[in-house]
Structure 1
Amino acid sequence: MSFDRSTAPQIHISLDRQILTLVNSAGTVLAEYPVSTALNGPGEQDSSGCTPRGEHYIRAKIGGDQPICTVFRGRRPTGEIHTPELARQNPGRDWILSRILWLCGLEPGKNRGPGVDSFRRFIYIHGTPETEPMGVPMSHGCVRMRNADVIDLYERVSAGTAVVIR
């Protein structure tokens, strides 16, 4: 069975506003969440630390059976739950928490293919520590969300959901 993108909700991410909006097929807003995209700004190049623009889809959903603030490394739970103490013990760690929505680009030469591939760059929508600011670009390229927000979004979307980053 194929995924029908024409009737499914879509995710729109505004880099300027630092907002993720979930809309239905009629364009009605279902939810809005503050996010944090790349400190280095928008861009598609490998190793740029930038958030890729354009049309994407959710290639994989990871972590649905994990508790809030589960720590992931390499898309696998580490067995840790993020706490302020764990954060103090690991300064500078780029935390990926709670849920992962792994994005895949749809535009060859822009966000898909050699040198620009969002999937191979491991671009995710994921949870982050509550101490990290939202509405301010601070990530290494991914789209960071509050843990409760990414869990809520995770429950509302499916693998195949369209994601547009502008």
Structure 2
Amino acid sequence: MSSLMNVSKNGTHKNSGLSHNGWSNWIDDLFNVDTFPGVVSSNFNTSVSLPKVNIRETNDEYFIEMAVPGMKKSDFNIDIDNEVLSISAEHNVEEENTEGNFTRREFGYNSFKRTFTLPDSIDDQKIKAKYEDGILSIKLPKLEEAKPKPVRTIKIS
């Protein structure tokens, strides 16, 4: 028994060959981004994208950096609930241009939500965030008891 659908190397689905194979392939090709890149990729957002995140750890704290250009501080909402850090944002863009007798108005809407489970070692009362040059930075200090202790030598008596 043959499968009804094959997946090509680029991830697009093709009908395996029933009596309407030519028609199905034509429909698949019509909506294939590679076939009409100017139409599909410039006018439609075909995927949901989340901001890229860098997370690093030092002896004293964790740092989260998120690339979110074009937003304002007021667009963000950062919450902690049951050891889960949630970062969300909503951003509305409206633009109106008038040229002669032609008026064009464009608008857009961006939103996202990222969540991170925090380790028990975080001092959640001292978390700080700042937004600068398109980067949201969050500083997550560790509790004193979670920080590594320096090596000490014990003398033998």
TM-score, normalisation: structure 2: 0.23
Indicate the structure (1 or 2) with the bigger Cα radius of gyration: 2
TM-score, length of structure 1 as denominator length? 0.22
Relative contact order, higher structure (CA 8 A, sep 6+):
1
The structure whose residues are more often strand, as a share, is 2
